[in-house]
Structure 1
Amino acid sequence: MPGTPSRRTVLRGLAVTGAAVIGFDPATRSWAAEGTGAGLAKVPRLDGTLFTDAASLAAAAEDYGHLVHRRPRAVLRPGSVRDVVAMIRFCNEHCLPVAPRGEGHQTHGQAQVQGGLVIETGTLAAIGPVKPHQATVTVGAGAKWSDVARATLVHGLTPPVFTDYIELSVGGTLSVGGIGGQGHRHGVQVDNVTELKVVTGSGELVRCSPTRQPDLFHAVLAGLGQCGVIVEATLRLVRAPRTVRHYTLTYDDLETFVEDECRLLEDDRFAYVGGQISADSGGAFRVHTLEAVAYGPPVGPAPNDRALLRGLRHTHAETADLSYFDFLNRLAPLIASLKAGGFWTWVHPWLNLILPSDAAVAISAPVLAELTPAELGPGVIQLYPLRRERLTAPLFRAPDDPMPFLFDVLPAVAPDDTATIERRLVANRAAYEAAVAVGGTQYPVGSIPFDRRDWRTHFGDAWPQLVRAKRRYDPRGLLTPGQGIF
């Protein structure tokens, strides 16, 4: 329509940065605005916007951990996948490192990049089409799992696995794994992807799957952003229940708690099994809460409490019937209170381990014994099992054990309490070393100081596969340097 501004014009108008960025000066390694463009490398024409203002750069130099601060030179909010392709090619020409960023929920600078380009994928958030007959949905990397759930539930379908916090981006969790309490039945989120659209480190847009360029497909899923930027994913769907019954079972003994969690997986009684540990009135972490969920129709029959709880040794039980989405979104009130109280911006020196089942108690007990409620703050401790046979992505590293345990200690520490922050980082490293000595791994979203030798140990026999893929798909080594792998 004459006189109507184009989408490109509107997107460019969103940049409240003064003059538009038109070029990059290789000599000074800086971006330049209109009127100062002599001898500059011209920025590609974009559907979105390239930001260089102080506020955008400062935001991209932070993450949920608030521990590491690496300031980029520019932030791209793409208006299309073409923008991602164009800017990664531009960065290749000028040796600028690149990091994709979803919701910024990392805790140790993993998606930050000093002096490079951060690509914020939140603008690539399209969802659909949902294909009921194929039981799949195709979504943009920036789509949040909460929105994916809402879109698929209209069709009576759902992704099979969700992280407990569902306001994370699809691309973000697929880059690390995506662990949830449904994992004993369906694996983790990367085990439920049928196809990806990826922009490689050399700027090529590639569609890949288990049968189409499988080396790239398997290098990107849980590949920590080393070989390509996920821009689109096709996810497997399963039938969704309308309601669920949520059981909260309390234990006063760690070993009994762990044994009953294992029993539930062996019997396959529940669709979801999780576990949390909290402090008692004396400040000791001796309250163990097993969280189990049975799906109702049309996925399963109406839950039978007596059959589902038979033989378990809890000291107290509570039940609640919820809609399926309310169950998925059950953390929303807690998150709202954390944000209202200012705790969302506290420092989060997280420990995330995956332990062999026979070491779950031996590794977690000393960590819990030295932890205090003050150090944990309004944080959470999790301990629950997965099934190793369901974990099929080569780069998702887990112990060679039939039933490995996720062990998370997720503190929130006041920013000025530097002594506690340092103590937690030291404790994280010590717990990791104890875990790796018995065949454990880390789930790489936390705050464990790591060097390149640690990464080789972490990837183990998959390390050569990652190295080959890195050389092929990111030959200049520009992608996601914040992980510290190469």
Structure 2
Amino acid sequence: MSQLPTRRTALRAVAAATGAVVVGFDPAGRSWAVAAPGTERAAGLVGLPRLDGVLLTDEDSLTAAADDFGHIVHRGPVAVLRPGSVDDVVAMVRFCNRHGLKVAPRGQGHGTNGQAQVAGGLVVETTPLARIGPVGPHSRTVTVGAGAKWSDVTRATLVHGLTPPVFTDYLELSVGGTLSVGGLGGQSHHHGAQVDNVTELRVVTGAGELVRCSPTRHRELFEAVLAGLGQCAVIVSATVRLRKAPTTVRHYLLPYSDLETFLADQRLLVTDGRFGYVEGQVVPDGNGAFNGYVLEAVSYDAHPDDAVLLAGLRHDPAGVQAEDLDYYVFLDRLAASVAALKSAGLWAWAHPWLNLLIPGAQAAAVAGGILDALTPADLGPGVVLLYPLLRERLHRPMLRVPDDPVPYLLAVLRTAPPEDTAGVDRLLAANRAAYEAARAAGGTQYPVGSVPFGPADWRAHFGPVWPALAEAKRCFDPRDVLVPGQGIF
């Protein structure tokens, strides 16, 4: 259990600290009326529902909700809900339905293109919805709040020797956030995406109904929400599968100088399953050409045998690294570099990320063309990831993956000075051109990055499942209030 008993008191203190409270909504002015505590509500204002949490309209809260990790798009809401309960989410989504206000849930704000922003509407912070548990040594699942971070979930389950099966590389993301997009990682060739490891959801639909859904209960809603980009419901909790956790792992870094050899060895490893985790990075040489490759692989075996694990691989013999790590230390290995980026102020730079899923048969050609055009200046202090998945492990229909047995994720995680707006615009155009090349080869966008997209692009992206998503939208968000920042409908 990770919920603090004083949370409601703390939320009330936030409102008190502003010296004012929201006393009503002005339908004519499309704004919230704020007054000192105890002030009588003015005529013509619509009263708020009773809330366990607080509704914030102070400048700092609105400014924070008008930004995200991308620092590219800025859309200002008129209020931010910091819920004290799931009932608050229900009440405010219903309120927004009645008064024509858009709504967007926000976890850790790690979107890169305004996905969780809403101009003139309500942002719902999910961070207070962070309860974890209960968990026991024989648990097969754990139910967690949408605002819980994967780092906290993992620490709670590891106490009992258990772990979620799949992680994104950065653990400080919210459960609701990653389940809205898919949640891919180096374990996905064994266990699918994070959305493939959810057994039940509790959601607030766009109509303001609190619903439990699963593969056997309201399945159409369950399938529309997982990787559905927030279009039909706000996730408030999820039940996630658990498996036995290793205590230590062996972590390998294997260098390559040839792209096709690198891709072929990655493909071998995910198809034979000898490693629990497989990813890879692309690095520049001394002249700035992105033609160096590092295969990252991790064995969860209690007694790994290097000779067996590395048999048949064609990596460069020099520069191989292998070390044994505590399991959580491995999962959280980015913590030190993230701290360094924050200390240097680079976390606040723009992040015009490019994330593509490419058919394995076209991976060398498409990725090679994109990498040939990439320069260290365009990447900045970011990284390039390139690694395979297994299509047969990915079952959620809204996670759009190329029709290829071994598709590859290419992630060009650019970082750029935010004041260089012309440079950021140029990188966004480059992202669009790269997406067009991938789409022509049968690829898709993994929608966590910054690729300029319109409704027609989204219809093409969802392809054969577009009718199901559109019908779910009509059914569960009939007034189209949810998550306009994605630009889908």
Separation (CA, whole Å) in 1 of partners of 2:100 and 2:420: 38
Q: Which amino acid aligns with 1:342?
A: G
Separation (CA, whole Å) in 2 of partners of 1:444 and 1:131: 35
Separation (CA, whole Å) in 2 of partners of 1:232 and 1:8: 19
**8 Å contact kept, 2:271–2:390:** no
**Superposed counterparts of 1:67-466, under 5 Å:** 67-297=72-302, 302-315=303-316, 316-466=319-469
Structure 1, residues 446-472: CA drift from partner, whole Å, max 9, x if none?
000001000001001100110110001
Separation (CA, whole Å) in 1 of partners of 2:10 and 2:262: 56
Separation (CA, whole Å) in 2 of partners of 1:365 and 1:81: 47
Separation (CA, whole Å) in 2 of partners of 1:251 and 1:320: 19
What SS is found at the alignment partner of 1:130? coil
- Which ranges of structure 2 fall in alignment gaps of 5 or more residues? none
What SS is found at the alignment partner of 1:245? strand
Give the drift of 1:296: 2.8
Give the drift of 1:6: 8.3
What SS is found at the alignment partner of 1:167? coil
What SS is found at the alignment partner of 1:11? helix
Separation (CA, whole Å) in 2 of partners of 1:453 and 1:17: 43
Give the drift of 1:356: 0.1
Q: Which amino acid aligns with 2:438?
A: A
**8 Å contact kept, 2:201–2:213:** yes
Structure 1, residues 397-439: CA drift from partner, whole Å, max 9, x if none?
0001100000000110012223321221111001111111121
Structure 1, residues 218-274: CA drift from partner, whole Å, max 9, x if none?
110000000000000000011100000000000011111101100111221100000
Q: Which amino acid aligns with 2:235?
A: I
Aligned to 2:12: 12
Aligned to 1:29: 30
Identity of aligned residues (%): 66
Of the structure 1 ranges 309-318 and 245-254, higher mean CA displacement relative to structure 2 is found in 309-318
Separation (CA, whole Å) in 2 of partners of 1:14 and 1:466: 38
Separation (CA, whole Å) in 1 of partners of 2:10 and 2:183: 35
Q: Which amino acid aligns with 2:88?
A: D
Separation (CA, whole Å) in 2 of partners of 1:37 and 1:296: 67
Structure 1, residues 322-362: CA drift from partner, whole Å, max 9, x if none?
00000000001110110011100000001000000011111
Separation (CA, whole Å) in 2 of partners of 1:67 and 1:132: 44
What SS is found at the alignment partner of 2:238? strand
Give the drift of 1:131: 4.7
What SS is found at the alignment partner of 1:122? coil
**8 Å contact kept, 1:101–1:119:** yes
What count of residue pairs does the alignment treat as equivalent? 478
- Which ranges of structure 1 fall in alignment gaps of 5 or more residues? none
Evaluate the alpha carbon distance shift between residue 308 and residue 123 of structure 1 in structure 2; reply closer, same or farther with a 3 A threshold: same
Separation (CA, whole Å) in 2 of partners of 1:295 and 1:124: 32
Give the drift of 1:28: 0.4
Evaluate the alpha carbon distance shift between residue 33 and residue 419 of structure 1 in structure 2; reply closer, same or farther with a 3 A threshold: closer
Q: Which amino acid aligns with 1:104?
A: G
Structure 1, residues 47-73: CA drift from partner, whole Å, max 9, x if none?
111000111001000000011000000
**8 Å contact kept, 2:11–2:82:** no
What SS is found at the alignment partner of 2:453? coil
What SS is found at the alignment partner of 1:128? coil
TM-score calculated relative to the size of structure 1: 0.97
Q: Are 2:57 and 1:52 aligned?
A: yes
Separation (CA, whole Å) in 2 of partners of 1:370 and 1:286: 12
Q: Which amino acid aligns with 1:346?
A: W
**8 Å contact kept, 1:110–1:483:** yes
Separation (CA, whole Å) in 2 of partners of 1:385 and 1:138: 29
Runs ≥4 in structure 1, deviation > 6 angstroms? none
**8 Å contact kept, 2:366–2:441:** no
